[in-house]
Structure 1
């Protein structure tokens, strides 16, 4: 067994506490189970007894209070809303074992925010996931805090790989990550909505238009991934001189669609920075 596989095997024998049983918390639970964890290794806590009962029934994971779950683990994942993070950190603080890794998947919560509210020396990692994690096609970016060493980063990466791909970035790039992959699925859904409506406008049944657009999107994304070609090259192969595609692309350029996307993503990154600095 090579070193990476051995680390993976050892890491996946350790229990993990997941604080927060909302959409992302449940997504992580289901992903970890599919990647080889056992229900006994996952300790889930949430203020909603109803949510905990639902997860316990569906996944057979352990559902416990924070006070009971946190002392049993060396990795705690915080899957709560940003506005609830301060209170959650105050709750878990007295129950953390020394050296326990705390991983936050809450948007806009910096490693400094976490470190200020946890015992001195606590290793923390900040993660920006996205919603395709629900279908194991997520894209997560991880940044480590002051006390987060290489083995802590490896554990955080392994957790998020259960739901898709992972990259490591300096924390200063997290606002850009939020604008690109964190918010990115919404941009794609927005374009898909418009293309479906265009099909309906052109006389197609809505179901047919939807199938055409979704499969076209899937096929195009697969080509980008599988061929490794630059998107400009792939676009030019579809764009015959004087043809239908060129006519459409000229309209998009005339309406400054490319510029609008750039401006939109700059706005998303700016808002992410405002949230991180407490200017909500």
Structure 2
């Protein structure tokens, strides 16, 4: 996304590839685009590129899912939860394989020589995920702290369930999150106010993607920010009856690169342009595997 000025008037322009190089452009006026102008522009671009297809997929998905018995719906949710727990922990460095994760959660068997903290966080994450899809609690400061505490209270007891009080760095990243507790609290409050003000305006997938990026950018916890934001992304999707999203750990580098580019360039379009095509690909694959595609 670029700001262009033509004869004293401002425009926002995004260049993309779709059967050739194309431009998506919006006239702003005589004043430089505001943050709200940029957000609206990104939403209009997402609507132009992907929302029609996503809404069509969601209609099929919701119809098929809601036609299943409660038993099958719960079985599908649990299967997703096991995969999601494995991948979200793997992204953060868990040593457990998919098979290890499955036998821990399904059979209660602890694989030989497995890392104790990885096992504990696997169990705790799955329990928190299952709580999330069982109880429609209002998204709030307290709920987010509760999720963090439940997942990390045994492995990170010194800061589980509380926001950080000082600066933090992100391993392998040049981006520096806001350093002080004052900034963290202020930005988090703004994020929550934004979420509730836009909840009935924006498509839930767009809402989830922007929330994901902004939460990670704030980086409110000492550790565990990625797992919490991926959980909250699925909270937003699930309670709006959209397909859940499990980011395969093999895409870890590309995922981190998209977050990094958005943060370093202060341009949310980078992450949004990465997220939406992959979400569509994932839900098509999932719906086919579940027999939801027609």
Give TM-score scaled by structure 1 length.
0.26
| Higher Rg of the two aligned structures | 1
Give TM-score scaled by structure 2 length.
0.26
Q: Using CA pairs under 8 Å that are at least 6 residues apart, name the structure with larger relative contact order, 1 or 2.
A: 2
